[in-house]
Amino acid sequence: MKTFKEMSLNELRSYVLKNRSDAEAWEEFASRPRPNAVTIPASLPQEEQDRMLEELIS
């Protein structure tokens, strides 16, 4: 069996969904970067953050 570090994000996701009490697997899963994550810089004015969020939702 592969180690958690060797698993792809999708493989690890499947594993943690089936083994919810495995803290080590969850820790690895939570520490992985998400390639499709969208970030909105906190340094932007609130109005600009709201505009960006609305754009993403629509």
| Runs of H (alpha helix) within the chain | 9-18, 23-31, 46-57
Q: How confident is the model at residue 34 (pLDDT cuts 50, 70, 90)?
A: very high
pLDDT tens by residue, 8-29: 999 999 999 999 999 999 999 9
Residue 22 tokens read as 């495995």
